[in-house]
């Protein structure tokens, strides 16, 4: 019997724990340790800051879903890892022993490394920070002024920096105040769209064109020195890395990405981490010092893909993190069985960036040079695909395979209860069709046809309106009967159909081959 402990309950930790539980024996144990008792979908944090999502849309209590799968949940913050004893010590004094350990804790933003950064700017790394950013943004919208969106030297995963600037542009246009708000994007990258990958080709020109079209000023090779109330002080470098020009950027609202470091409990473990407290792993995602400890996600010390005047961290995405989690799980199982391990390289970089009403999709493979696949596409379909992926990922986390499926009457009953309540309030109710609604042809038998019309008259609804509500509820209930494999198949088919029907499905930029 083996006990596998997963540290972290995020995008890497939860899929890994689910995979371990499904592939280990019934006598083996899986435990998840997290300082938070909820799961939240981190890529949607910028939407929280914009007010396009609420906490309940992307976060929910975690324990019921883990327990339904037979996974133990330990709510506590890691104080120290003891590889010599195969033990985890929590800050509350409790300890947990393990046979194999998977570290998926994510990272911590090093805000204290730039004077004034934490005090005067906002962040969307965590949901609580995004909520504070939204509260400040609402106040900012009443008294608009300059916005600065930036990343400090050493920051990683820079795609969301561009995304947030473009989301702000879209939101300000909706509020009809965009002309009153200059937006400046500050980045340590040597050119727009470098993203830590070093790709200098058509994507660079595409990103420059997007920023120009939206009137977003960008300052590259920017070293952030300090932040004061109302001003961000940066130094712009030339291509050789020499100081070229100093800027004091005025701002009324700012969101900034700090450099990353490991979380405190992991940083405190010598021999496991680098100077930034990030976990050092080999190609098998195994720590060289302790062969029974593996890691996945942004807690890993990823090597930079390109040399730049200022340090630019390697990118990461939900896609690559899931690939790492799957590799780590496979190698833990292989270690138990004495089988050869699988390498995590080469990896691909792939992500979706939302721009409000449109978006950009990017794929680079392998992630490090030399590359044989490089492409970027733009269109409204990317925005819709990102919304869809959010739902897909959260549904996977919330899927409960244990126990009977929910009663099929639940959502249908909700539709009928609402119809009856509305009938008490007045006459015949005929709600407008939802935006983007599409007609569906359905052949009803004679009896069902008259039953539907009679039922609609009885509850004060138009037959088409009632049929649409009942059908939507029935579809939602039908999905609850699917297995995990069935949910995956459903979501894949849904995305394929979505893309097939989009008239905007045209590549803004598309290129293949090339390397850097």
pLDDT in tens, 7-35: 999 999 999 999 999 999 989 999 999 99
Q: From CA 223, how far away is CA 151, in angstroms rounded?
A: 9
Query: What tokens were used for 363?
Result: 């794929």
Q: From CA 226, how far away is CA 210, in angstroms rounded?
A: 29
The 8-class DSSP code of residue 111 comes to G
**pLDDT at site 96:** 96
Spatial CA neighbour of 429 closest among 413, 437, 418: 418
What DSSP letter does each residue of 13-27 carry, written as one string? HHHHHHHHHHHS-TT
pLDDT tens digit sequence for 326-336? 999 999 999 99
Query: What tokens were used for 154?
Result: 């050493």
Is the pLDDT assigned to residue 306 strictly greater than 70? Answer: yes
**pLDDT at site 74:** 97
**pLDDT at site 315:** 77
Q: What is the pTM of this model?
A: 0.75
pLDDT tens digit sequence for 161-194? 988 998 999 899 999 999 999 999 999 999 988 8
Is the pLDDT assigned to residue 134 strictly greater than 90? Answer: yes
Is the pLDDT assigned to residue 249 strictly greater than 80? Answer: yes
- Of 5-9, 33-37, 384-388, where does mean pLDDT reach its minimum? 384-388
**pLDDT at site 237:** 96
DSSP H helical segments within 342-408, as ranges?
380-398
Q: Give the torsion sign (CA, 220, 225, 227, 228).
A: negative
The band of 396, judged by pLDDT with boundaries at 50, 70 and 90, is: confident
Residue of 470 and 182 predicted with greater confidence? 182
Per cent of the chain over pLDDT 70 is 77
Do residues 221 and 188 touch, judged by C-beta distance below 8 A? Answer: yes
What DSSP letter does each residue of 38-100 carry, written as one string? EEE-GGGHHHHHHTSS-HHHHEEE-HHHHHHTT-EEEE--EEEEETTTTEEEETTS-EEE-SE
**pLDDT at site 437:** 66
**pLDDT at site 436:** 56
pLDDT tens digit sequence for 105-118? 999 999 999 999 99
pLDDT tens digit sequence for 309-318? 999 987 777 8
Domain ranges for the chain: 3-108+261-344, 111-260+351-397, 409-479
Is the pLDDT assigned to residue 501 strictly greater than 80? Answer: no
Give the right CATH number for 3-108+261-344 from 1.10.3210.10, 3.40.50.150, 3.40.50.2300, 3.50.50.100. 3.50.50.100
Q: For the chain, how long is the longest CA-to-CA vector? A: 81
Computed over every residue of the chain, the mean pLDDT equals 82
Cis peptide before 346 (omega within 30 of 0): yes
Q: From CA 231, how far away is CA 56, in angstroms rounded?
A: 34
The band of 88, judged by pLDDT with boundaries at 50, 70 and 90, is: very high
| Residues in Cβ contact with 204 at an 8 Å cutoff, skipping those fewer than 6 apart | 191, 192, 193, 194
Intrachain domains 3-108+261-344 and 111-260+351-397 with the same fold: yes
Is the pLDDT assigned to residue 215 strictly greater than 80? Answer: yes
**pLDDT at site 355:** 46
Do residues 78 and 7 touch, judged by C-beta distance below 8 A? Answer: yes
**pLDDT at site 205:** 76
The band of 143, judged by pLDDT with boundaries at 50, 70 and 90, is: very high
**pLDDT at site 270:** 85
**pLDDT at site 371:** 41
Query: What tokens were used for 506?
Result: 């045209």
| Residues in Cβ contact with 143 at an 8 Å cutoff, skipping those fewer than 6 apart | 252
**pLDDT at site 281:** 95
CATH top-level class for 111-260+351-397? alpha beta
């Amino acid at each position: 019997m083996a006990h596998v402990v997963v540290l972290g309950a995020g995008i890497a930790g939860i899929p890994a724990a689910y995979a371990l539980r499904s592939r280990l024996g019934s006598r083996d144990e899986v435990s998840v340790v997290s300082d938070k008792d909820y799961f939240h979908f981190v890529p949607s944090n910028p939407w929280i800051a914009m007010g396009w999502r609420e906490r309940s849309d992307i976060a929910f209590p975690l324990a019921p879903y883990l327990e339904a799968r037979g996974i133990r949940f330990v709510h506590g913050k890691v104080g120290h890892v003891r590889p010599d004893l195969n033990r985890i010590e929590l800050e509350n004094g409790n300890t947990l022993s393990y046979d194999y350990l998977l570290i998926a804790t994510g990272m911590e933003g090093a805000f204290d490394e730039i004077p004034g950064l934490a005090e005067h700017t906002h962040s969307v790394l965590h949901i609580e920070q995004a909520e504070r950013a939204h509260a400040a943004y609402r106040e900012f919208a009443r008294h608009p002024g300059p916005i600065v969106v930036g990343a400090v030297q050493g920051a990683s995963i820079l795609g969301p920096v561009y995304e947030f600037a473009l989301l702000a542009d879209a939101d300000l246009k909706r509020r009809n105040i965009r002309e009153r708000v200059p937006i400046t994007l500050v980045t340590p990258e040597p050119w727009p769209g470098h993203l830590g990958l070093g790709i200098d080709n058509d994507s660079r020109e595409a990103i420059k064109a997007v920023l120009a079209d939206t009137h977003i000023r960008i300052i590259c090779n920017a070293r952030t020195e300090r932040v004061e109330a109302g001003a961000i002080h940066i130094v712009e470098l030339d291509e050789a890395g020499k100081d070229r020009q100093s800027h004091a950027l005025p701002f009324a609202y700012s969101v900034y990405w700090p450099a990353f470091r490991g979380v405190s409990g992991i940083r405190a473990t010598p021999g496991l981490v680098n100077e930034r407290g990030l976990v050092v792993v080999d190609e098998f995602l195994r720590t060289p010092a302790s062969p029974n400890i593996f890691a996945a996600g942004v807690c890993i010390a990823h090597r930079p893909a390109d040399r730049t005047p200022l340090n630019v961290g390697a990118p990461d995405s939900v896609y690559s993190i899931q690939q790492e989690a799957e590799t780590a799980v496979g190698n833990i199982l292989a270690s138990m069985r004495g089988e050869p391990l699988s390498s995590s390289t080469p990896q691909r970089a792939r992500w979706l960036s939302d721009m409000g009403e449109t978006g950009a999709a990017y794929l680079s493979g392998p992630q490090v040079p030399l590359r044989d696949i490089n492409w970027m596409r733009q269109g409204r379909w990317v925005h819709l695909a990102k919304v869809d992926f959010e739902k897909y990922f959260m549904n996977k986390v919330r899927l409960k395979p244990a126990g009977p499926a929910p009663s099929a009457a639940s959502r249908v009953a909700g539709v009928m209860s609402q119809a009856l309540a509305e009938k008490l309030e007045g006459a015949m109710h005929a709600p407008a069709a939802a935006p983007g609604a599409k007609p569906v042809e359905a052949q009803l038998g004679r009896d069902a046809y008259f039953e539907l019309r009679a039922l609609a008259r009885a509850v004060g609804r138009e037959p088409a309106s009632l049929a649409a509500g009942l059908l939507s509820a029935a579809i939602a209930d039908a999905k609850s009967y699917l297995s995990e494999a069935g949910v995956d198949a459903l979501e894949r088919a849904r995305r394929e159909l979505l893309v097939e029907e989009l008239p905007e499905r045209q590549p803004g930029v598309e290129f293949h081959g090339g390397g850097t």
